[in-house]
Structure 1
Amino acid sequence: MPNSLELAKIAYHAYGQTTDFKNYQGLPMSEWENLPEKIQQAWIAASQAISSEFYLVLGKAVLNNEVLRNAILSQLPHQSALRETILNQLPPQS
């Protein structure tokens, strides 16, 4: 999985492909390396937010799949914080 910096560069490039590599002012986009640090950090923050949301959705999907959930739980120590977190996320059993 790409790290936050790599994801930010991928997102920046995808933005460029969509806008014919023009910025919001219609001017040619800078190369990533020439972007101001603050702009690079903004792209990195955006990529982190999307990545976090993706993993949250993926995690919920895994928890809702009994086979996957049980496979993960079987690999965790019985007294681990992660195991407790997973178990606390499960809907009550009827």
Structure 2
Amino acid sequence: MTERSAARTAYEAYGDATDGKNFLGDPMPEWHDLPEPIRRAWAQAAAAILAHASYLLMDEGAARHLRELAEDERNPLPPVTRWRCPEPHEHGPAAAFGIHSSRREFLGASVDRNACEHITPAERIELKAGRVPARLAVPDGDQ
């Protein structure tokens, strides 16, 4: 998903949430019928959300890489590697982590930063290669 398609996705989700009505209660135009300044505004909002999410999910280098990809509509977002620690933590269940990158240096840095002591060295190697061991897999529907 590019920044532009993320904008369209957000616009369409807004329409789904409001039964196709804008903030005045009037019918929303189709994406392609929106004036270019409005589409650019949706794109800017989508870029801000993507940037915010990327800072929450990965290191700054990977976030910069994601923003660079989003600037070029021809590039899809990179694949997501998601995992979580299956062991209980004293503060509650472990958070799930997602890395939006196929570049090994970003995967490795994020794994090193986010993997807890319950992740074995062999599992760290698998995560750094972009593979998620079954024990660490995030079940479908879990965030």
TM-score class, shorter-chain normalisation, is 0.5 to 0.7
Distance across 1 between alignment mates of 2:28 and 2:17: 12
Judging by fraction of residues, say which structure has more strand: 2
Structure 2 letter corresponding to 1:7: A
Structure 1 letter corresponding to 2:46: S
Structure 2 letter corresponding to 1:47: A
Indicate the residue corresponding to 1:44 in structure 2.
43
1:7-66, Cα deviation, whole Å (9 max, x unpaired)? 001000000000000011110000000101111011000100010111111115632326
Indicate the residue corresponding to 1:12 in structure 2.
11
Distance across 1 between alignment mates of 2:54 and 2:25: 34
Q: Give 5+ residue unaligned stretches, structure 2.
A: 60-96, 98-109, 117-123, 130-143
Structure 2 letter corresponding to 1:41: R
Structure 2 letter corresponding to 1:12: Y
Judging by fraction of residues, say which structure has more helix: 1
Distance across 2 between alignment mates of 1:18 and 1:31: 15
**Which stretches of structure 1, 4 residues or longer, exceed 2 Å deviation after superposition?**
60-68
Is 1:35 matched up with 2:34?
yes
Indicate the residue corresponding to 1:56 in structure 2.
55
Superposition TM-score, scaled by structure 2 size:
0.44
Indicate the residue corresponding to 2:73 in structure 1.
none
Distance across 1 between alignment mates of 2:115 and 2:52: 19
Is 1:65 matched up with 2:143?
no
- Give the RMSD, CA atoms, in angstroms: 2.1
Superposition TM-score, scaled by structure 1 size:
0.65
The DSSP-based 3-state class of the residue aligned with 2:29 is coil
Identical columns (%): 38
Aligned residues: 70
Distance across 2 between alignment mates of 1:5 and 1:65: 33
Name the larger-Rg structure: 1
